[in-house]
């Protein structure tokens, strides 16, 4: 497991982040590594300065282009589910957005590939992740519903926008014993957080977790 040293970055809002961590623990987040990373990660840098005063509230916020930075609880929960059975080495994220989820994973795993479809978001998250010192995160501008085949298979895949149904190309890019964390369901209907485990070439196990609300996977 590679360890980017994120101690010491973004110290300015440490008290606000400590309060956020208390909220996440109250809401049931238990993974110590996830809490350690989120306690350090400067979420205020992943959004517009005009909204930065709200950056340590446990809420999703707009990042432009009709998209949102995920709620911290959801980032924590999806990360916790992804690493629950052991920390994966090579991970694919679909939907880079602000880059906050990518940074969380980048601090925990050896190699992260993340794919974004909206060019300005791809550019700004790429530049921010680089300036924060991440060298193990590869950003790609592409339609992530096709995954990122060049580096497949992945030990884990995380999707941060919701499809109606899980794209089979993503399932194909999951390694045997790999895990995928993905919100599934219609926009106006109920979406649920699902964890898919690939048990063999053509057998997948699905667990359904809590109800969630994500922007659509386009
Ligand atoms: N992980 C992000 C959440 C961003 S919201 C964060 O931490 O901030 C979901 C993102 O998925 C948006 O940026 C949206 O543009 C992107 N997205 C939607 N459909 C996509 C697709 N087919 N391929 C790649 N990215 C997609």
| Residue 209 DSSP label | E
92 pocket-lining for ligand 1 (C-beta < 6 Å): no
**Peptide bond between residue 158 and the one before it cis (omega within 30 degrees of 0):** no
Q: What is the pLDDT of residues 150-165, one digit of tens each?
A: 999 999 999 999 999 9
The answer to whether residue 200 is catalytic is no
Q: What is the pLDDT of residue 96?
A: 98
Atom nearest to 218 CA in ligand 1: 19
Smallest CA separation from ligand 1 atom 26, residue? 95
Q: From atom 2 of ligand 1, which residue's Cα is the shortest distance away?
A: 97
| Percent helix / strand / coil, the chain, rounded to 5 | 35, 30, 35
CB atoms within 10 A of CB 150: 8
Check whether 49 has a pLDDT greater than 60: yes
Q: What are phi and psi of 101, to 5 degrees?
A: -65, -40
Residue 31 in contact with residue 80, Cβ under 8 Å?
yes
For residue 13, the model assigns a pLDDT of 82
Q: Tell me: the pLDDT tens digits for 81-137?
A: 999 999 999 999 999 999 999 999 999 999 999 999 999 999 999 999 999 999 999
For residue 97, report the distance from its CA to the centre of ligand 1, in Å.
Answer: 5
- What distance in Å separates the CA atoms of residue 175 and residue 103, rounded to the nearest whole number? 22
- Å from CA of 161 to ligand 1 middle: 5
- Tokens representing 83 are 């690493």
117 lines ligand 1 (CB under 6 A): yes
Average pLDDT rounded to a whole number, residues 56-68: 95
pLDDT number for residue 186: 85
60 CA → ligand 1 middle, Å: 13
Sign of the CA dihedral running 57, 191, 122, 64: negative
What pLDDT does 12 receive?
A: 63
Lowest mean pLDDT among 112-116, 134-138, 181-185, 189-193: 189-193
Distance 179 CA to ligand 1 centre (A): 19
pLDDT in the model for residue 6: 55
Cα–Cα distance for residue pair 22/76, rounded to 1 Å: 13
Contacts for 35 with CB less than 8 Å, ≥ 6 apart:
21, 24, 25, 29, 76
User: How far apart (Å, rounded) are the C-alpha atoms in residues 190 and 172?
Assistant: 26
Superfamily (CATH H level) for 59-211: Vaccinia Virus protein VP39 (3.40.50.150)
Instruction: Determine which one of 55, 70, 124, 125 is catalytic.
Output: 70
Q: How far apart are CA 186 and CA 90, in angstroms?
A: 29
Contact 99, 129 (CB under 8 A): yes
98 lines ligand 1 (CB under 6 A): yes
Listed by start position, the domains of the chain span 59-211
Give the pair of three-digit tokens for residue 109: 């795993």
């Amino acid at each position: 497991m590679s360890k980017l040293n994120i101690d010491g970055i973004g110290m300015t809002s440490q008290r606000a982040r400590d309060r956020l961590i208390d909220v996440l623990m109250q809401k049931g987040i238990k993974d110590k590594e996830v809490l350690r990373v989120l306690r350090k990660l400067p979420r205020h840098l992943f959004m517009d300065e005009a909204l930065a005063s709200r950056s340590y509230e446990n809420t999703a916020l707009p990042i432009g282009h009709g998209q949102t930075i995920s709620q911290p609880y959801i980032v924590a929960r999806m990360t916790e589910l992804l690493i629950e059975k052991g920390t994966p080495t090579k991970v694919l994220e679909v939907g880079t957005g602000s880059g906050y989820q990518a940074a969380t994973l980048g601090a925990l795993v050896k190699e992260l590939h993340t794919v974004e479809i909206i060019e300005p978001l791809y550019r700004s998250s790429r530049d921010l992740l680089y300036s924060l010192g991440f060298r193990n995160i590869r950003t790609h501008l592409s339609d992530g519903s096709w995954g990122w085949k060049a580096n497949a298979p992945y030990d884990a895949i995380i999707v941060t926008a919701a499809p109606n149904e899980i794209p089979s190309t993503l399932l194909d890019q999951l390694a045997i014993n790999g895990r995928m964390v993905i919100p599934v369901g219609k926009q106006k209907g109920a979406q649920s957080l699902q964890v898919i485990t690939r048990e063999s070439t053509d057998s997948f196990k699905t667990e359904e977790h809590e109800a969630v609300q994500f922007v659509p996977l386009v």
